[in-house]
Structure 1
Amino acid sequence: MTPVEPPAAAATSVRVWDLPVRLFHWALVALLGFSWWSGDHHDMDWHRLSGYTILALVVFRIYWGVVGSRTARFAQFVRGPRAALAYLGRLGRRPYEAADGHNPIGGWSVVLLLATLVVMVTAGLFSVDVDGLESGPLADYVSFDVGRTAAGVHHFVFNVLLALVALHVLAILFYLVALRHDLISPMLHGRRKAGEVPVAERLGASPWKAAIGIVIAGGLAYAVSKGFHL
């Protein structure tokens, strides 16, 4: 009699975040802190370099939000107001039902963060200091007064960004303490326990598409750093 093989063990975890999304997240955390430090210490060479790197990260994330993996795409997590309100109405239920990737509120927070970064970085590229000695690489394209306005916008939006980061941290703590749901670990290793999220198809992160995005983002950031005088 042929022995019956035991059934294959069920998966204990599922992938929810690809490597590019996770690298973007933690690189942005580090660079924002470094930009803050270098700006406060008036080390403008490092501050500009950090800004160019943030620009490359944002360009790549927007690109990856169109052609990237399932949970990285804007089409997957940017939902309308009705979906966001419905999600808020379900927060009180137990056990908490995790989303496949970003939930509707988290999705809009990603969009808001990216939009704020775009405004902040763009303003920094055109900014001029009060003496006209330290300028962004695109300051030559605008007048001194416009450059000074851009510097003010850059500073103001950075403070707005700090407030958004603080809200993000508070949201993480709320999910961890009130909902018993860990958002940090999956962003480190890319996986969640099976059963915490709906079973979905593979992420589909293409290394070739990621490589193309890196080239595009890096090339654009380099061109901007040179003021397009290549």
Structure 2
Amino acid sequence: MTDSSVAAMQAASSDTPVRKRIWDLPTRVFHWTLSVTVIGLIATGLGGVMEWHFRLGYTVLALLLFRLLWGFVGGRWSRFASFFYGPGSVVAYLRGRAHPDHVIGHTPLGALSVFAVLAVLAAQVGTGLMADDEISAAGPLTRFVSGDVVSLATGWHEGPGKTIVIALVSLHVLAVLFYVLVKRHRLVRPMVSGDKLVTPAHSQAAPSRDDTASRGLALVLFAACAGAAWWISSLRV
């Protein structure tokens, strides 16, 4: 074998992508469960199926509480610290000067989308707990707050909040389609399998922990969050 052929083989080997665990199983289950549940929330809200709307709302509450906790103790790339970017990072990314982390976990724009969706959903669920349509549906916390607060919560939940949720969900889907179809980024498959192909230049990045112990911790945390959501639901009269 000639020196040139050896060099060519080494070059090809150095360009081979490396498979790395990025999204742990609890994060993946959270992502897809939240997606389906939010779609169900929108459908039941628009269709007036309020009993199921409340049930799905409590489910989203449990999921959001879990994600808040998992954002501090979850896998490396699921932690908020891994995608909490400052303005400088966002500007650099938009100018094409991406940091290596931007191609592994969430990009700065993706991170903004995640935080926006979580914040809007939290506001929508929170106001739903205090909303009262004065016909057949009243949140479990309405009797603990003043009439003015109930009125404000109801107005937001049935008006701007609902519109913003639908807009953000639509924008999120369109952004994913843009990255998949136009920029040719594999976004869906890693959120299913948990693994992502990264270039050798980024192969030194630490993978997310995704073992039996971490999954057991996630189950315990979600059970606690589901219990908290159930307790809140039991306050409804």
Give me the TM-score of the superposition, normalised by structure 1: 0.85
Of the three residues 111, 117, 130, the one matched with 1:126 is: 130
Q: Cα deviations across residues 71-95 of structure 1 (Å, max 9, x unaligned)?
A: 000001111000011111117x9xx
Q: Give the structure 2 partner of residue 209 of structure 1.
A: 217
**8 Å Cα contact 2:139/2:236 also seen in 1:** no
Per-residue Cα deviation, 1:4-61 (whole angstroms, up to 9, x for no partner): xxxxx98852211111111111111111111122122222111100000000000000
Q: Secondary structure at the match of 1:13?
A: strand
Tell me how far 1:197 sits from its aligned partner: 8.0
1:97 Cα offset (Å)? 9.0
Equivalent residue for 1:69?
Answer: 75
Distance (whole Å) between structure 2 residues aligned to residue 109 and residue 221 of structure 1:
25
CA–CA distance in structure 2, aligned partners of residues 143 and 97 of structure 1 = 46
Equivalence map 1:1-230=2 (5 Å): 13-90=19-96, 99-131=103-135, 133-155=136-158, 156-195=160-199, 198-199=202-203, 200-205=205-210, 206-227=214-235
Percentage of pairs with the same residue: 38
- Alignment match, 1:3: none
Deviation string 1:74-133 (CA, Å, 9 cap, x unpaired) is: 001111000011111117x9xx996221112211211111111110000000000133x4
Contact 1:128-1:144 within 8 A present in 2 as well: no
Whether the 8 Å CA contact 2:83–2:111 is kept in 1: the answer is yes
Letter in structure 2 aligned against 1:153: W
Higher helix share: 2
Contact 2:25 2:215 in 1 (8 A): no
Shift of 1:144: 3.7
- Offset at residue 202 of structure 1 (A): 2.8
- CA distance in 2 between partners of 1:113 and 1:193 (Å): 26
CA distance in 2, matches of 1:196, 1:181: 17
Aligned to 2:9: none
Secondary structure in 2 matching 1:123: helix
The whole-number CA distance in structure 1 between the counterparts of 2:201 and 2:124 is 35
User: Equivalents in 2 of 1:196, 1:36: separation in Å?
Assistant: 42
Distance 1:97 1:149 in 2: 41
What stretches of structure 1 of length at least 5 have no aligned partner?
1-8
Equivalent AA in structure 1 for residue 20 of structure 2: V
Root-mean-square deviation over aligned CA pairs: 2.5
The whole-number CA distance in structure 1 between the counterparts of 2:192 and 2:170 is 20
Q: Between Structure 1 and Structure 2, how many residues are aligned?
A: 217
Q: Secondary structure of 1:128's partner?
A: coil
SS of equivalent residue, structure 2 residue 196:
strand
